[in-house]
Amino acid sequence: MTGPRSPLTIADIDQSKLDPVQVGSPEMLARIDEIAAEWATRDPFYIQVDGLPMVVVGKYEQCREVLLDSETYRCELPKQEGYEKFDKFLGVRSLAQMDGEDHRRIRRLMTPAFSPKALVALESEAEKVVDGLLDAIEARGGQYCDGVREFGSQLLDGILLTSMLRLDEERKRIFHEMHRVIPLTAAVRPGEPFPDECVTAFAAARDTINALMEERGKNPGDDLISTLVLARDEGDRLSADELFDVVFTICVAALSGTARTMGRTMYGLFQRPKVVRRMYEQPSIVSQAVAEAQRMYRQGYFMFPRMAVRATAIGGTPIPAGMIVRVSLHAASYDPTMFPDPTTFDIDRSPVDWMSYGLGEHNCLGIRLARLVLRVAFTNFVRRFPRVRLADPNFRPAYYGALGELRMDTLPLSLS
């Protein structure tokens, strides 16, 4: 796309609408749920990140307006100095950063791999992976476990990398390393190169994906990469470069997004013994409970960035052409006009998750996969350990990650 000649500066905005919040600072992340609830009641306001002004949109209806207007708010950002931190995949064209017909075409080719029919076979695989992890926790004594290290992050390793992609241990290690370095891109300042360890990890992932595509192209199996290599639509198919970008995107989205979702959802649910009890006694409400936990404890406070390609305004806040727009669905999920008494955890809300996986043409392609994994994971976890709770009721996670992410390293749980 053609972007502005140079990024906007602070001189381009009404500074009375500039919030001094240090986005991504430990102080901000420690209060992120309170902050999201506050943003839910404010019209759009500006923030500044490394000198670049952006606008934050948090009210439910205003978020919806941005997500449904893909003509004004585009996902492909300029590849030029000043925008380095948005290129967190080091040049890979992810589906979340494409627009228009390009986006529709790639998405159309990927869709069958994530359809309900395609996911039927995965349910039993997911059960096996989840039960295997729970067996291992039980074998270690079953009194305590780390929900993130021993379950949440292992889960996606098992389901995505082992069951869906059929990767061996060395290749899994390469993908984990790529996942580990992504937050480092958030620290890249305008004009600076990416850190060496990012470049090395991404190059290794690129070599691995290229090798996998070649192998699976010659000998297709029942794995996701083979399905994508063979994906066709009326004679159309993914090119080698597109296939690389797609596999990369799936790995990052699933490893990163779902691992974060697992951590935050466990934190939301396992601090509430009465909710856990209800999930144990009535497994049919597990999906509702998970959805409510995702509403209050979203895995990130910003969606992928968008850019306004024409001057506009939302809720009286001017949005100049070229401005980065940060939609906060974390904030929107606390909007009291949509969710009465939004800071109360209520699994009987209806509906609870209308935008939890996005909205519009960029809504999450893997939504059904994510829901399946979450349902199986929490149903089986609570069935195995019905007394699961935070080991320390006052535990507060120390979040970190790329701009907008809420990654957790640890979640100590008591199981008995």
Partner 1 sequence: MIKILATSRDGNEVKVPAEPTGSLMQVLRDIPELNVRADCGGNAACATCHVFIRSDWTTVVGPPLSDDEVDMLDGLLSTTAQSRLACQVQLEPALDGMAVTVAPEE
Per CB under 8 A, contacts with partner 1 among 182-241 are 233-234
104 lines the binding site for partner 1 (CB under 8 A) = yes
Tokens (6 digits) for 341:
């008494």
340 lines the binding site for partner 1 (CB under 8 A) = no
132: closest CA among 157, 114, 165?
157
Q: What separation in angstroms does the CA of 33 have from each of 14, 29, 38, 169?
A: 27, 8, 9, 37
Cα–Cα distance for residue pair 8/86, rounded to 1 Å: 15
CB of 349 to partner 1, least distance (A): 12
Cα–Cα distance for residue pair 82/182, rounded to 1 Å: 18
230: closest CA among 217, 219, 214?
217
In the bound state with partner 1, the residue whose beta carbon lies nearer, of 126 and 403, is 126
CB of 388 to partner 1, least distance (A): 27
| Contacts (Cβ under 8 Å, ≥6 apart) of 397 | 263, 267, 408, 410, 411
Q: What is the dihedral of CA 344, 345, 346, 347, to 10 degrees?
A: 170
CB of 371 to partner 1, least distance (A): 9
172 lines the binding site for partner 1 (CB under 8 A) = no
CB of 363 to partner 1, least distance (A): 4
Q: In the stretch 46-75, what mask flags binding to partner 1 with x, by CB under 8 A? A: ---------------------xx-------
47-55, 101-109, 204-212, 386-394 -> range binding partner 1 (CB under 8 A): 101-109
Q: In the stretch 107-146, what mask flags binding to partner 1 with x, by CB under 8 A? A: xx--xx--xxxx-x--------------------------
Tokens (6 digits) for 381:
């976890």
106-114, 129-137, 190-198, 381-389 -> range binding partner 1 (CB under 8 A): 106-114
State whether residue 35 is helix, strand or coil.
Answer: helix
Per CB under 8 A, contacts with partner 1 among 351-370 are 351, 354, 357-361, 363, 367-368
CB of 332 to partner 1, least distance (A): 14
CB 346 within 8 A of CB 358: no
In the bound state with partner 1, the residue whose beta carbon lies nearer, of 9 and 111, is 111
350 lines the binding site for partner 1 (CB under 8 A) = yes
Q: What separation in angstroms does the CA of 231 have from each of 102, 113, 224, 247?
A: 16, 9, 10, 13
CB of 217 to partner 1, least distance (A): 23
| Contacts (Cβ under 8 Å, ≥6 apart) of 143 | 414, 415, 416
In the bound state with partner 1, the residue whose beta carbon lies nearer, of 57 and 403, is 57
CB of 375 to partner 1, least distance (A): 12
91 lines the binding site for partner 1 (CB under 8 A) = no
CB 390 within 8 A of CB 263: no
Contacting residues toward partner 1, per CB under 8 A: 67-68, 104, 107-108, 111-112, 115-118, 120, 233-234, 350-351, 354, 357-361, 363, 367-368
